[in-house]
């Protein structure tokens, strides 16, 4: 359980940094593939996915021989994809507006859940081979998908920046303001 707490703290710190890193690097597009480039729900999911994947460099070394590793990694990646929007759109349907404190707490809660679920699956008995395979393929699909969805976001509410009403890199508020001034 200590590993869950430590990984939650590390992932939360990296995720928090990832919220601001695109601006800190003066809008570096490569960095933007892995960090938040606007205020859409998708970009907030992405700042959870990036450090969970980065954590794979460590936990892959430690648990890589565990037959449940890739399934555990896949489920830990799916957790923020499901939990962050459920909490955000759930409370927003009641409050009718975003509440920053709830958004921040839900991010940290999601990271904890992700790591706790990872730990439970890794510690469980060996899963069947097809689930090991599914975990491996699914992990790589999520990695490729989240980079692609930043470059070519779907025209859906989850990818739409609430400030600029645009998608992906073009939705970044400062970028949007630059485009506005040129008109």
Domain with 43, as residue range(s), is 2-182
- Structurally, how many domains does the chain consist of? 1
* pTM, entire model: 0.86
Whether pLDDT at 175 is above 70: no
| Alpha carbon distance 123, 175 (integer Å) | 46
Q: What is the DSSP string of 108-160?
A: HHHHHHHHHHHHHHHHSPPPPHHHHHHHHHHHHHHHHHHHHHHHS--SSGGGB
pLDDT given for residue 168 in this prediction: 86
Which tens digit of pLDDT belongs to each residue from 1-21? 888 899 999 999 999 999 999
Mean pLDDT of all residues in 123-133: 92
Contact partners, residue 15, CB within 8 Å, separation at least 6: 47, 48, 50, 51, 107, 111
């Amino acid at each position: 359980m200590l590993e869950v707490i430590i990984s939650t703290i590390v992932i939360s710190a990296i995720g928090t940094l990832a919220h601001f890193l695109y601006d800190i690097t003066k809008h570096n597009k490569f960095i933007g593939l892995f960090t938040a480039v606007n205020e859409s729900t998708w970009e907030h999911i992405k700042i959870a996915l990036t450090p969970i994947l980065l954590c794979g460099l460590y936990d892959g070394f430690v648990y890589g021989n565990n037959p449940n590793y890739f399934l555990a990694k896949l489920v830990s990646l799916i957790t923020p994809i499901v939990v962050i929007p459920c909490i955000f759109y759930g409370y927003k349907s009641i409050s009718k507006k975003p509440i920053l404190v709830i958004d921040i707490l839900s991010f940290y809660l999601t990271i904890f859940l992700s790591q706790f679920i990872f730990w439970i699956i890794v510690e469980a008995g060996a899963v069947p081979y097809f689930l090991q395979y599914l975990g491996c393929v699914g992990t790589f699909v999520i990695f490729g998908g989240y980079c692609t969805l930043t470059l070519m976001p779907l025209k859906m509410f989850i990818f739409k920046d609430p400030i600029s009403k645009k998608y992906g890199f073009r939705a970044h508020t400062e970028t949007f303001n630059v485009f506005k001034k040129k008109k």
